A and B are shown apart, each in its own frame.
Chain A
């Protein structure tokens, strides 16, 4: 055993180890504070937290769960992007390859079930924040950032739903995107669209309305696939990541995890 201890101490005392972990394993309060301050991931947290805010029965750990699932989705999504080609010719067969041929054949499962779980986690996080009245001053703005993150979560899930390019995918997106046709003023079958004319020509028709803009065509096709792919893999995650940063920043600035005043 002393042999193992020798190895351990020689690692911990080596220049390489010390250059990475400045503080070492915290043994006193000063080091506990320094450990939080000196680590880029841990410094998201304050040095001390309210005991009431530590309780799982208070926070339900749902905000953290939602964020963790966002990270899971990012990592598994990145791995899936190595295989998947967003074209009508290849998309479906890449799905089969992901299941039958690719190493660690559960990446798509992890990504899909993680996505469902993330939607539920975000709802429950919101439910908890409401039930504890944590949206009340001074946290009004952060509740709003949260509502936008909820919408982004649903949009991420919705755009990802098309990518397998099977019957389930295109018909779910068909049903969903048909709603855009009825947008007031901006949809070809929406109320008020008939009012937008220029010299007797309709401005809003099936080839120019909100649905056309959403799915890049009159029907779901290759154009929709690449549009949803870019939204799913780049555009929405980028906005979501930025807003998550704002969300966390404001949690700290508004006084940490909520508690009675």
Chain B
């Protein structure tokens, strides 16, 4: 048991678990067998069994059973269920289309039904069920109330409300102006831009995967791998001093992580060129600035020439393509920075402390 726990703790560290989640994400979209009824049931049983077994561990139980963390445990299961449902329905519809038959939705769309009683009654039943669930939940679990507010005693760790913990987790890799302002702002802008960027007329009003692969892959990557996964890490796996702890690890307040991160400028000027850091910030950071400029301004143009992206460029037109690809590249900045941190201990690409401009 101890060996298994240590193994899971080890592989839950972000560099491993994030890589693993990328692999699982790929397998999930490739393997349709996972989405049949048996496959889905098997996954549910496996995850639930794993969760219940883990509850035997006191450290795991302590974090998971915090009243405010209970909704997040529920969210993991609910999101998993609806992911299964949506892809199950999408793959089923794709099979129907392949066989030359209308999709499930298409075969019913012409059939109009009176709102009274069908819709009104199912809404009523939903409301009753929801009310019962909420009342039982509220009786069973008391809302948390800690000691009175004391501005001079900061709890360790201090955590934001759970739905912002993905953003707080990004603070490990980015400065507050990026993780707390620019990136959340761009998430909102990006979400709002989706209907105007996506010119694919197919898949409007029914579940499908084959007819809009890249859209779904991108959305699921952002929603599941980045947003939901970072919330789970930030909630369950970040302890005192925002240090990482495996699911069965004791939240040791004295755990020390060595600060060995270095800037890109230090790697290039000191380690590679052996000349020391130039005094002027622009010369010092020139490589980082060039790299970022190339990533955000040259790469989109270069990508538009590549065969895979060229068809999107022609289909979407330059304005939609460049806005879309820029938003995509900014999103990818997060996993890229994560891997640079894990592989090279990189702290900042650009580090201009003079203007608080660190990327």
Contact = CB atoms under 8 A, between A and B. Distances in A.
Interface string B232-274: 0000000000000000000000000000000000000000000
A117 B188 CA distance: 21
A64 B159 CA distance: 31
B134 A64 contact: no
B113 interface: yes
Contact of A258 (B181, B192, B205): B205
Contacts of A184: 177, 181-182
Interface string A156-190: 01100100111111111011101111111001011
Interface string B72-99: 0011001100100110011000000000
A53 B95 CA distance: 21
Contacts of A50: 108-109, 111-113
Contacts of B194: 130, 135, 143
B201 A42 contact: no
A116 B153 CA distance: 27
A136 B153 contact: no
A247 interface: no
A99 B154 CA distance: 25
Contacts, number: 270
B75 to A, nearest CB: 5
Interface stretch (B137-145, B276-284, B300-308, B316-324): B137-145
Of B86, B112, B203, B205, the most chain A CB neighbours within 10 A belong to B205
B188 to A, nearest CB: 6
Nearest to A184: B177
A64 B123 contact: yes
A11 interface: no
B142 A192 contact: no
B145 A166 contact: yes
B82 A171 contact: no
Contacts of B78: 120, 124
Q: Is the interface of B mostly helix, strand, loop or mixed?
A: helix
Given A106-B139, A110-B134, A171-B158, A48 B164 contact: no
B258 to A, nearest CB: 24
Contact of A220 (B114, B131, B151): B151
B119 A109 contact: no
Interface residues of B, number: 92
Given A29-B114, A120-B78, A166-B148, A127 B86 contact: yes
B111 A261 contact: no
Contacts of A35: 116
A113 interface: yes
A209 to B, nearest CB: 12
Contacts of B143: 108-109, 111-113
B43 to A, nearest CB: 18
Interface in A10-57: 26, 29, 32-33, 35-36, 42, 45-52, 54-57
Interface string A92-128: 1001100100000010111111101101100110011
Q: Which of A45, A147, A221 has the most CB of B within 10 A?
A: A147
Nearest to B216: A131
Contact of A110 (B79, B135, B179): B135
The 9 closest A-B pairs by CB, nearest first: A179-B180, A109-B138, A182-B176, A140-B195, A182-B177, A116-B71, A51-B111, A133-B203, A52-B108
24 contacts: A32-B117, A49-B112, A51-B109, A52-B105, A55-B108, A61-B122, A109-B141, A113-B134, A120-B75, A127-B86, A130-B194, A133-B203, A154-B163, A157-B161, A166-B148, A168-B68, A171-B159, A174-B154, A174-B158, A190-B177, A190-B181, A191-B357, A194-B356, A260-B106
